[in-house]
């Protein structure tokens, strides 16, 4: 058994953990939307307005603070007018999904997506089309959704069932425009952004506009530098990062730890982006980072299989480290969105026919739910560390065997601890400064092996157990199983 000590400085708060730091992403890609969360109103699978009721229930339970849609790369091919009006009259268009040409029948459009958000209590975040769209198209989408004036588009919205404005606040101006979103050079994208954002702002000055950033320093530098005198148009910069190490289910010990380290390295992309934003905004405006795609992307998740992969306990434990990083950067991040909400990549929910199951990543978000809206407090972790070797983009470095985050809200302290060790449990001593423990609940997400996952055949192989904590005083000792995450609510 290894040992670790975590000092929690309850009196040293580090900013509010916005619920949006636990956001999600739904793209028209593979079986995320169609044959995922959406089955259509004619489906024999129980649904509400076309959305699977079992998924709606699971999403309500875990909570989806913000949901990004319709892409992803799909966003820069999407023409929103194709997805409104009578479904049978909507155009049937050619779409690209996971490297394949597929038919998009536009059954899931703006009204349906916003109905989903209302059902699950999510803030909508719509990603606009820069690559193959126009400033006017984006401005009209905003007008259609948000105007309270009786314009022709607003009347069309009313005729389509929504007389009141739909008040969509968050708008992405393109997606990955350095790649699938048009292969722009950074300066060219920034100039396009300025044009699109000017007319988006005119359509609704209250929108929050999100520019396309990168996990590449040079892109962010050039985009933000070009926009430095147009800060009125820039509210957030989007960054994406995926990571892998070995296959999703077949990995050796070194690869096990590399995945954790790859997740921890998300910190670097945030750090340099934050530095660039601070430099070019120099106290004039707080432009935040929207980390709106992240997660494990294993080699099994390839085009032909719809970017689907088993989502293991290892993925959830590496994800815990990433959420800990996000909490530490609570002041600089406006949102984060794991990719993707159903079936695709590191999905919290997976389906096969009428079967639906929850992955360890779903349970990770459930364990972290009490942190939402809470004040992050400083934690100091002392644990064994392991050297990880260089691989692709992954720099060699030291991986702490334990990661943690803590927050307080309404007299309650929540501490989440992950033990990254593949085989050994860890005895973790929590030392609390500035308060005392009282009794509470311990939630444990553990599995029989790091590569364990849930499936149609074994939907409950990995899950959460809950026990009562009889705590008092300023010290609490927990035994965290190998490759596991615990949350103590005390």
Closer Cβ to ligand AHR, 143 or 315, answer by number? 315
CB of 425 to ligand AHR, least distance (A): 35
Choice among 143, 192, 293, 308 that is catalytic: 293
CB of 180 to ligand AHR, least distance (A): 6
Rule CB under 6 A: say whether 27 interacts with ligand AHR.
Answer: yes
Rule CB under 6 A: say whether 175 interacts with ligand AHR.
Answer: yes
Rule CB under 6 A: say whether 309 interacts with ligand AHR.
Answer: no
Choice among 104, 176, 192, 308 that is catalytic: 176
Rule CB under 6 A: say whether 71 interacts with ligand AHR.
Answer: yes
Tokens of 463: 């899950």
CB of 423 to ligand AHR, least distance (A): 32
The CA distance from 224 to 187, in Å, is 9
Q: For the CA atoms of the chain, what is the radius of gyration? A: 22
Closer Cβ to ligand AHR, 59 or 339, answer by number? 339
CB of 97 to ligand AHR, least distance (A): 9
The CA distance from 63 to 56, in Å, is 10
Whose CA is closest to 26, among 69, 76, 88?
A: 69
What residue is closest to ligand AHR based on CB?
72
Which letter, b or e, does each residue of 278-302 get, where b requires 16 or more Cβ atoms within 10 Å of its Cβ? eebbeeeeebbbbbbbbbbbbeebe
From 67-75, 252-260, 283-291, 478-486, give the range in contact with ligand AHR by CB under 6 A. 67-75
The CA distance from 183 to 177, in Å, is 6
The CA distance from 76 to 307, in Å, is 19
Rule CB under 6 A: say whether 310 interacts with ligand AHR.
Answer: no
Rule CB under 6 A: say whether 293 interacts with ligand AHR.
Answer: yes
176 is catalytic: yes
Rule CB under 6 A: say whether 339 interacts with ligand AHR.
Answer: yes
Contact call for residues 225 and 243 (beta carbons, < 8 A) = no
Q: Where are the alpha helices (DSSP H) in 183-332?
A: 186-203, 217-226, 253-264, 266-281, 313-328
439 is catalytic: no
Closer Cβ to ligand AHR, 176 or 308, answer by number? 176
Query: What does DSSP assign to residue 146?
Result: H
Whose CA is closest to 38, among 118, 109, 96?
A: 109
Binding residues (CB under 6 A) for ligand AHR: these are 27, 29, 71-73, 175-176, 293, 339-340, 345
Residues annotated catalytic, as ranges: 176, 293
């Amino acid at each position: 058994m290894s040992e670790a000590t975590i000092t929690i400085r309850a009196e040293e708060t580090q900013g509010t953990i916005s619920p949006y730091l636990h956001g999600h992403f739904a793209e028209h890609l593979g079986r995320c939307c169609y044959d995922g969360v959406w089955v259509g109103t004619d489906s024999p699978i129980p649904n509400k307005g076309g959305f699977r009721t079992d998924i709606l229930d699971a999403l309500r339970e875990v909570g989806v603070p913000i949901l990004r849609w319709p892409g992803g790369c799909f966003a820069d091919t999407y023409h929103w007018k194709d997805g409104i009006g009578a479904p049978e009259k909507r155009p049937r268009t050619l779409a690209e999904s996971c490297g394949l040409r597929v038919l998009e029948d536009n059954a899931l459009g703006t009204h349906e997506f916003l109905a989903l958000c209302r059902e699950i209590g999510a803030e909508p975040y719509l990603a606009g089309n820069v690559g193959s769209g126009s400033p006017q198209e984006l401005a009209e989408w905003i007008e259609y959704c948000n105007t309270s004036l009786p314009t022709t588009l607003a009347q069309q919205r009313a005729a389509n069932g929504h007389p009141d404005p739909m008040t969509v606040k968050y708008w992405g101006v393109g997606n990955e425009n350095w790649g699938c979103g048009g292969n722009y050079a950074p300066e060219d994208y920034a100039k396009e952004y300025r044009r699109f954002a000017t007319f988006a702002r005119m359509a609704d000055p209250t929108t929050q506009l999100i520019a396309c950033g990168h996990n590449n320093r040079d892109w962010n530098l050039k985009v933000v530098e070009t926009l430095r005198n147009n800060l009125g148009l820039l509210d957030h910069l989007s960054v994406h990062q995926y990571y892998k190490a070995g296959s999703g289910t077949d990995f050796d010990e070194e690869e096990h730890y590399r995945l954790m380290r790859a997740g921890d390295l998300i910190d670097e992309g945030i750090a340099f982006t934050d530095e660039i934003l601070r430099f070019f905004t120099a106290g004039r405006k707080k432009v935040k980072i929207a980390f709106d795609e992240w997660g494990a992307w294993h080699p099994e998740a390839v085009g032909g299989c719809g970017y689907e992969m088993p989502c293991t306990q290892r993925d959830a434990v590496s994800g815990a480290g990433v959420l800990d990083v996000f909490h530490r950067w609570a002041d600089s991040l406006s949102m984060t969105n794991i990719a993707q909400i159903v079936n695709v990549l590191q999905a919290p929910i997976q389906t096969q026919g009428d079967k639906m199951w929850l992955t360890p990543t779903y349970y990770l978000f459930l364990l972290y739910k009490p942190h939402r809206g809470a004040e992050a407090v400083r934690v100091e972790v002392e644990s064994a560390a392991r050297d990880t070797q260089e691989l692709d983009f992954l720099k060699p470095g030291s991986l702490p065997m334990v990661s943690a985050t803590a927050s307080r809200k309404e007299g309650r302290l929540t501490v989440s601890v992950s033990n990254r060790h593949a085989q050994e449990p860890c005895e973790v001593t929590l030392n609390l400064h500035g308060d005392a423990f009282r009794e509470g609940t311990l939630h444990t997400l553990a599995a029989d092996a790091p590569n364990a996952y849930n499936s149609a055949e074994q939907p409950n192989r990995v899950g959460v157990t809950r026990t009562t904590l009889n705590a008092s005083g300023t010290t609490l000792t927990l035994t965290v199983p190998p490759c596991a995450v615990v949350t103590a609510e005390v």
